[in-house]
Amino acid sequence: MRQLAVIRSTSDDASPAGRAGRRRTGALLIGVLALVASAVVGCSSGGDGSDGGGATDQAPDPAASADISAEAIEQLGYASTGWATLHGDPANRKYQADATAAAAYDSSSALADTSVLAAPSSGTDGQLYVTTGLPEGSANLHAFDRDGDLLWESEPWAGDDGVDPCALLNTPVVDDDGDLYVSDCDQLWSYTADGDVAWVLDLPAPPADSPYADNPLQPNSFLTAALVGGDRVAGITLYGQVVVVDRETGELAAEVLDLPSVPSARAEDPPLPPGALGNGEVDPQIIDVVWQVAFGGSVVSANTPAASADGRLFVVAGADDPTTGVVYGLDVGDDAVDIAFETPVGVGSGCSPTLSPDEGELYTCDAAGTLYALGTDDGEVHWKVDDAEAEAGSVAVGPDGTIYLLVRNGTYRAYEDDGTLRWDADFSTLDDPLPDNADVGPKVLIGAGNPTVIDGGDRLIAALNRGYQYEIAGRTPNVPVLAELVELDATTGEALQTLTPLDNPTEGIIHVDPDGTIVSSQGAITTSSLASLSPMIDPLLTDGLTVIPPGGGLQIFRPT
């Protein structure tokens, strides 16, 4: 078996033996960037599902769906904290059954002026674990309480010591003992809930001809690990190596599998803006990496795998040529990973797969915005919607099987589990705080990040950017001047209320805990990319409005 280097802690509490005594025997990431869009609010109809049958004849039973979800969390070894991984649960559904929206919130914040792209996870004692991408000499794994006070953080990184800036692409995954797992550019780290390092594993090197061969960091991180049962943690690197590790020892638990894929072509549209993340929000060495991952360019896989209760992993990756994509079903055996199926899809791997409530289907999208439904047993395409305009990130799925997605250059849209359009979101019921301004351009309302399903499947929490479409140099970027969280009726798509303003736009997943606490991760990609327009636009704005300045960090909203 191929061996990779493992470094273990010598402290008693963090040793494999100590962890075994505590352990019971027996999924960019980023729905980012409407910033260079050219469409004002108002989305075209999605149309009916096409290309095949296979959809269920009746809606899933929510009670049965809850049982399957609980079984997956227990079988795979996730913590039952309500949000133990990037998308909330191993199926990537972004569903918090018991949470309800509040009439008012107390707000706190952390990591000001720092890019936070991946949603934090919840620890077994209520901690929030979050990653950053800061330069050498800084910590990049942090634990906060619900008031935004720092509990602990990783040691400042230098070389192989400490968590390096590629951690920004990961949410720490929390297991049923409260331990957490997070990768950086070239290592997988295991920490205890108290912040002790249990072990460190060197990840496979990227290909010698990777687009970042000259980058000293040699980025080849996971985009969030997954627990696969049997006390194992797994992940797929940016360049398609499937790594399975024993959670106790940090040793490889299976032969590393190289997916038969090549990196996608470099994402050039939109181009990387000169000022993006250029204000110290991240280490400059990973700015281009973050941009390419956000658009699924230059890498084999730019998404977080979903895991079913039996431990099968599902991941989107490049194919054997850079112009197409593939959805893989991967079976993690005792000492090897086998490819159960590989289904061709469109190019672009930035959309993490999401499983249906009964785990019979998975949903994903491609760079063209096509929405796909595939069978999880054999990878057969049950249906697809070519004009769904699905944005990269990951769809959310409610307990009745309804699929909710962020719309490219628009807001939000819902589909039935047979691919039939249910609704386009309606925000006309909310007060519009922006005045018309012909000097700047038409008003736009843009969804920001993937929605989260709450309240037994009856409601959604979603993020919005309000702003103007400004024409400059042949482009028409959507320039945000206000950002907010809103509540939607999941059945009709009607906006019910504005929950709270945001300091900076959300650019990913909206973390919601069972008690209704909301955590907004703010990546500062949009605001830093558009900061150069402020001197031109701010003098034209009225009513005290300005282009939202670069920021970033976490905002924590606790119901009052």
pTM over 0.85: yes
pLDDT at 409: 84
In a domain, 40, yes or no: no
**pLDDT value for 298:** 94
Q: Is 112 exposed, middle or buried (0-12, 13-18, 19+ CB in 10 A)?
A: middle
Count of structural domains within the chain: 1
User: Is residue 1 in a domain?
Assistant: no
Residue listed under structure tokens 């110290």: 280
Q: What was the pLDDT predicted at 24?
A: 34
pLDDT in tens, 58-89: 566 777 767 788 999 999 999 999 999 999 99
Give the contacts of 259 (CB within 8 A, at least 6 positions apart).
236, 240, 241, 242, 300, 301, 317, 328, 339
Domain of 268, in residue numbers: 47-559
Specify if 56 maps to a domain. Answer: yes
Amino acid at 91: A
pLDDT recorded at residue 7: 44
The pLDDT tens digits for 356-382 are 999 999 999 999 999 999 999 999 999
The answer to the question of residue 15 being in a domain is no
User: Is 368 inside a domain boundary?
Assistant: yes
In a domain, 39, yes or no: no
pLDDT at position 11 is 42
Cα dihedral value 120, 374, 392, 282, nearest 10: 40
Whole-angstrom distance, CA of residue 508 vs CA of residue 44: 23
User: Which tens digits make up the pLDDT trace of 266-317?
Assistant: 988 888 999 999 999 999 999 999 999 988 899 999 999 999 999 999 999 9
The CATH number assigned to the domain holding 490 equals: 2.130.10.10
Beta strand 371-375 with 361-365 is antiparallel
* The pLDDT of residue 22: 37
Asked if the structure places residue 233 within a domain, the reply is: yes
Domain presence at residue 452: yes
Residues of the chain with pLDDT under 50: 1-48, 52-56
Identify the pLDDT of residue 58: 59
Nearest alpha carbon to residue 301 among 196, 169, 198 = 169
Which pLDDT belongs to residue 69?
Answer: 87
pLDDT in tens, 495-517: 999 999 999 999 889 999 999 99
